[in-house]
């Protein structure tokens, strides 16, 4: 008789299909089945990714009625005093990669960190957050065709490639999102 291990299930709430794909793929490696669901959420304005993700996770768990995770991330550029940070999504939508590169024109210090926060919550519960970071630098031009700021972020240990030049599998092995999801998965499976 063949024994099949049951995967633990969580709902991944996001309107971003690219992000959902990465989350599903990464969590599958840990024996967690993430099911994507798109729910309209109110994104609070805050200087803290943890606060933004936590508020969204509470709202999502109450709307969905199940255990959920919500992920929020930001690109923090040292020479721009951490900008765009928690406002990365808005900056991407309004300026894009090209606009951010124009802000960096003539700037030699290009160190940056991509930070991810995964917030877990069950209906009626309190959120719990998990953080992951990837250090690197900002490229001088866009390279690759993936989404968000991936075409301008060169992670340490990435062989000089931007995230957008890597396959999803290559990016998923070292990304900020991977590190946050790994922390979440260990906690989720051990609780």
Known catalytic residues? 72
Residue 22's nearest CA partner among 69, 60, 78, 65 is: 69
CA distance 122 to 70: 12
Residue 156 has a CB neighbour count (10 Å cut-off) of: 11
Distances in whole angstroms, Cα of residue 27 to Cα of each of 24, 34, 78, 179: 5, 7, 30, 11
Nearest Cα to Cα of residue 161 among 142, 177, 176:
142
């Amino acid at each position: 008789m063949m024994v099949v291990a049951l995967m633990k299930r969580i709902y991944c709430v996001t309107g971003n299909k690219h992000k959902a794909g990465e989350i599903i793929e990464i969590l599958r490696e840990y024996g967690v089945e993430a099911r994507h669901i798109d729910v309209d959420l109110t994104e609070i304005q805050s200087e803290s990714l943890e606060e933004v993700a936590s508020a969204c996770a509470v709202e999502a768990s109450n709307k969905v009625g199940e255990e959920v995770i919500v992920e929020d991330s930001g690109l923090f550029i040292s020479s721009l005093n951490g900008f765009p940070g928690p406002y990365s999504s808005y900056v991407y939508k309004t300026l894009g990669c090209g606009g951010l590169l124009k802000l960096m024109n003539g700037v030699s210090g290009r160190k940056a960190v991509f930070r991810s926060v995964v917030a877990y919550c069950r209906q009626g519960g309190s959120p719990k957050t998990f953080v992951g970071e990837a250090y690197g630098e900002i490229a001088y031009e866009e390279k690759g065709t993936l989404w968000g700021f991936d075409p301008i972020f060169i992670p340490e240990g990435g062989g000089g490639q931007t995230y957008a030049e890597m396959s999803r599998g290559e990016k998923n092995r070292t990304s900020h999102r991977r590190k946050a999801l790994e922390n979440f998965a260990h906690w989720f499976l051990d609780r």
